[in-house]
Amino acid sequence: MGLPLKVAPEVRCLFQASVVFEIGDGRQALFWKDRWIAGASVEDIAPAVIELVAKRTRSSQSVAVALQGNQWIRELRGGLSVQAINQYLKLWDAVQEIRLSPSVPDRILWRWSSDGHFSVHSAYQLLHEGSILQLEIAIIWKTWAPLRIKIFLWLAWRRRLWTADRRHRHGLDARTACFLCDAADETCDHLLVSCSFSLRVWDGVLSSLGVHRPPASGGISVLDWWITVRELWPPGVGKGIDSLFALVTWEVWKERNARCFRGEVSSAEAVVSSILSFASEWVRAGAKALGCILSE
C-alpha cells in the first residue's frame, strides 16, 4: 500500500483546472469533480445539484460507478429547488449522451502541451512559472480572492480558459462565437475585455462606484485591461481594485458558463447586481481593501 501524499490545495486546484477527460471505461475520471462531459464538469452544468451530494462521494465516485444503474441519482440528498430541478434535467440529458467503452481506458487531455499529452517537463514548467515574481504573477497570487478565482485569473492571463475557440480546436464543440455577445469569436481576451456584454457589466459596476469606464480595444489583453482598470483610482488602493477585477471577471465567466452549459441567461444588470452583492460578502469575509473602494 502506498503512502498517502499531502498535496497543497493550490497544486490540486491547478491540476484539476488543467485537465479534461476523454471518457473510455470511466474508471479513472471522477463523476462529480472532473471535466469529462465535452470538456465540462458536473459543477459547470449543475452547480445547485452538486451541493446535494456528500463531499466524500464527490471526491471518490468514478464515472463508471456513477453511471451504473444511474447510481449518481441516488447520491442526491435533500429536496431540489426549482433551479436544481432545471439543472438536474440538463445534467440528465448530458449524461445520457455518454457511452462507456469497457476496453478503452479514460484519456487525459493536458492543456499545457500542444498535443494534449501530459509530461513531467510541462508540469514542472507550469508550477515553476507560477512562482516567478513577475508583476503579473505577483498581482494574481497576492489578490484577496478565493483560490479557485486566482487559478481562473492565472489561466485567463495565460489564455488557457476553455473558451469556444479552444473547445473548437480540441474538437469539443463546433461553436466558435462568443456566448455572451454572439458577435465575435470567443477568446479569453475578447470574452473578458472587449465583449459588448462584458463592457456593459463593467459600465454598471464602475458607474455604481462613481467611475467612468475607459475604452477597451479589441486587441487589449486581460492583463492590460487589469492594469487599465487599476489606473482609474489613485495609488494606494490597488489591492482593492485587484479584488474587484477578480470578482467582475469571475462573474462574467460564470455567466458565460451558465449560457454555454445550462442555457441560463441573465441580463448585464443582473450580473452587476450579483457582483455588488458578492463584493459586500467578500468585505465581510476579510477583503478590507475592497471595502475601502465600496465605501468611497
pLDDT digits (tens, 9 = 90+) for 282-294: 999 999 999 998 8
Question: What are the distances in angstroms from CA 25 to CA 45, 63, 102, 106, 125?
Answer: 22, 8, 4, 6, 31
Rounded-to-integer distance, Cα 241 and Cα 247, Å: 10
What average pLDDT does range 42-56 have in this prediction?
A: 92
Rounded-to-integer distance, Cα 70 and Cα 125, Å: 40
Question: If we measure between CA atoms, which residue out of 27, 102, 16 comes closest to residue 65?
Answer: 27
C-alpha cell at 240: 482593492
Which residues are within 8 A (CB) of 209 and not within 5 positions of it... i.e. 6 or more apart?
A: 293, 294, 296
Tell the residue number behind the cell numbers 456566448, with chain if given.
179
pTM of model > 0.85: no
> Which amino acid makes up residue 105?
P
What average pLDDT does range 188-202 have in this prediction?
A: 95
First to last CA, the chain: 58
Q: Are strands 107-110 and 19-22 parallel, antiparallel or unpaired?
A: antiparallel
SS3 of the chain: helix, strand, coil, percent, to 5: 55, 5, 40
Task: Grade residue 39 by pLDDT with cuts at 50, 70 and 90.
Answer: confident
Percentage of the chain modeled with pLDDT above 90: 48
Which residues are within 8 A (CB) of 128 and not within 5 positions of it... i.e. 6 or more apart?
A: none
Minimum mean pLDDT among 155-169, 204-218, 264-278: which range? 155-169
Rounded to a whole number of angstroms, the CA Rg of the chain reads: 20
Question: What are the distances in angstroms from CA 156 to CA 27, 31, 239?
Answer: 30, 25, 19
The contacts found for 75-78 with CB under 8 angstroms, 24 or more apart, are 76/49, 76/52, 77/52, 77/53, 78/52
- Mean pLDDT for the chain? 85
- At residue 130, the pLDDT reads 47
Within a 10 A sphere around the Cβ of 211, how many other Cβ atoms?
Answer: 15
Rounded-to-integer distance, Cα 70 and Cα 132, Å: 46
pLDDT digits (tens, 9 = 90+) for 207-224: 999 999 988 877 788 888
